[in-house]
């Protein structure tokens, strides 16, 4: 577990490209969210990048009492609410992907496909998966409370590369390396979201989850033979273009 980590098919570059697309989506969402985002359901488009036109129920409510474009303050509030919903959808899609990947790892370990699995690693996967499920439930609670649909599909941008990479995983090191990249992406995405979130509860939720995902990453680094806290400042390069 002490070799430089790089999976056979899922290189850091691949992950970075996917994450960059997500980050770019966040920026576009922040800059471009407006009253046009008032159509369609998130069902069937969940887990996609936040640029996909999805409804922001809070925005609909906010704009419903006035004519769009005639009240700058209300329009801004609606746009902000739309950004927050897009971030929640993005976060939920990442959490679905994390839960699914950890579940696949547990299944593979149970089938003996990963070789001997250390007890601490098995415990890590079990607990981390449960925590990501709790985080997913929280984001979906935010979305449904706002009148939207829960996200049930994994992030569509990252899923194909993660799936392809997981297909090549043959041991615990490979699985831990993939998990570390997902945790780093999640933590970086939550940090990046602080630039655009406006709702106070959403800001706190993103920060709270960023902490747990960063801690997952620290322990995975230790298991992989790396220093657990390599950076002086948490980075957003995995989340932002």
Partner 1 sequence: MSMLHKPDRLDDRAFDQLIEESQDLHTDAMTVARTTMPDLADLASDRRRNAGAADPELVQQFEQARSSLGRKIAMALGGIFGAGVISSAFAKTASAADGDIDVMQLQTAVSLELLAVATYGAALTLPFIANGNPVIVKFAQTTMSQHDQHRQAFSAQTKALGGTDQTATNPKYTPIVEAAKPTLAAPIDVVKLAMTLEQVATETYLADLNRYTDVTSRVLMASVMGVECQHLATLRAVGALLDGGAPELIAIPLGADVAKLPAAAGSVAFPDAFEGITMASPPEEGAVK
Beta carbon of residue 124, minimum distance to partner 1 (angstroms, whole number):
4
Confirm or reject binding of residue 131 to partner 1 (CB under 8 A).
yes
What's the rounded Cα separation, in Å, for the pair 55 and 39? 5
b/e sequence 83-119, b meaning 16+ C-beta within 10 Å = bbbbbbbbbbbbbbbbbbbbebbbebbeeeebeebee
Our finding on whether 171 is near partner 1 (CB under 8 A) is yes
15 or 179: whose CB is closer to partner 1?
A: 179
Phi-psi label, residue 132: left if phi above 0, alpha if psi -120 to 50, beta otherwise:
alpha
The nearest distance, CB 189 to partner 1, in angstroms, is 12
172 binds partner 1 (CB under 8 A): yes
d(CA 14, CA 20) in angstroms, rounded, equals 10
Nearest-angstrom CA–CA distance, 143 and 91: 11
* Closest separation in Å from C-beta 204 to partner 1: 5
Number of neighbours of residue 55 by Cβ within 10 angstroms? 19
Q: Output the CA torsion sign for 148, 30, 207, 62.
A: negative
147 sits near partner 1 (criterion: CB under 8 A): no
Q: Which is nearer to partner 1, 55 or 240 (CB)?
A: 240
222 binds partner 1 (CB under 8 A): yes
Please, what is the minimum distance in Å from the beta carbon of residue 23 to partner 1? 14
Choosing from 21, 68, 219, 241, the residue that interacts with partner 1 (CB under 8 A) is 219
Residue 105 is a binding residue for partner 1 (CB under 8 A): no
Terminal CA-to-CA distance of the chain, rounded, Å?
30
Asked if residue 216 binds partner 1 (CB under 8 A), the reply is: yes
At its nearest, how many Å lie between partner 1 and the CB of residue 221? 9
Six-digit token pair at 217? 């990453």
Euclidean distance between CA atoms 193 and 187, whole angstroms: 10
Task: Kindly state whether residue 211 participates in binding partner 1, applying the rule CB under 8 A.
Answer: yes
Number of residues that bind partner 1 (CB under 8 A): 57
Does position 72 interact with partner 1 (CB under 8 A)? The reply is: no
Report the distance separating Cα 117 and Cα 5, nearest Å: 18
- For residue 40, what are its two tokens? 């369609």
Nearer to partner 1, 55 or 209 (CB): 209
Say which residue the tokens 């939920």 belong to: 92
Structure tokens at 51: 């640029």
Residues in the site for partner 1, rule: CB under 8 A?
A: 1-2, 116, 118-128, 130-131, 134-135, 138, 171-173, 187, 191, 194-195, 200-201, 203-205, 207-212, 214-219, 222-223, 225-236
């Amino acid at each position: 577990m002490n070799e430089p980590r790089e999976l056979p098919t899922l290189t850091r570059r691949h992950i970075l490209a996917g994450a960059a697309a997500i980050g770019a989506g966040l920026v576009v969402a922040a800059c471009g969210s407006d009253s046009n985002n008032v159509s369609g359901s998130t069902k069937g488009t969940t887990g996609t990048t936040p640029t996909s036109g999805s409804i922001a129920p809070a925005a609909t409510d906010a704009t419903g009492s006035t004519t769009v474009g005639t009240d700058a303050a209300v329009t801004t509030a609606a746009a902000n609410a739309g950004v927050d919903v897009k971030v929640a959808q993005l976060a939920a899609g990442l959490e679905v992907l994390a839960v699914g990947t950890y579940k696949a790892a547990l299944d593979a370990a149970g089938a003996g496909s990963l070789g001997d699995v250390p007890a601490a690693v098995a415990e890590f996967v079990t607990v981390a998966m449960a925590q990501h499920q709790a985080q997913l439930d929280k984001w979906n609670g935010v979305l449904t409370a706002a009148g939207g649909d829960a996200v049930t599909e994994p992030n569509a941008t990252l899923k194909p590369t993660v799936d392809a990479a997981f297909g090549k995983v043959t041991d615990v090191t490979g699985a831990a390396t993939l998990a570390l990249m997902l945790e780093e992406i999640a933590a970086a995405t939550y940090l990046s979201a602080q630039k655009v979130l406006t709702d106070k509860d959403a800001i706190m939720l993103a920060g709270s989850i960023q902490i747990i995902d960063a801690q997952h990453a620290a322990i995975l680094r230790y298991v992989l033979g790396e220093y657990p806290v390599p950076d002086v400042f948490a980075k957003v390069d995995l989340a932002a273009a």
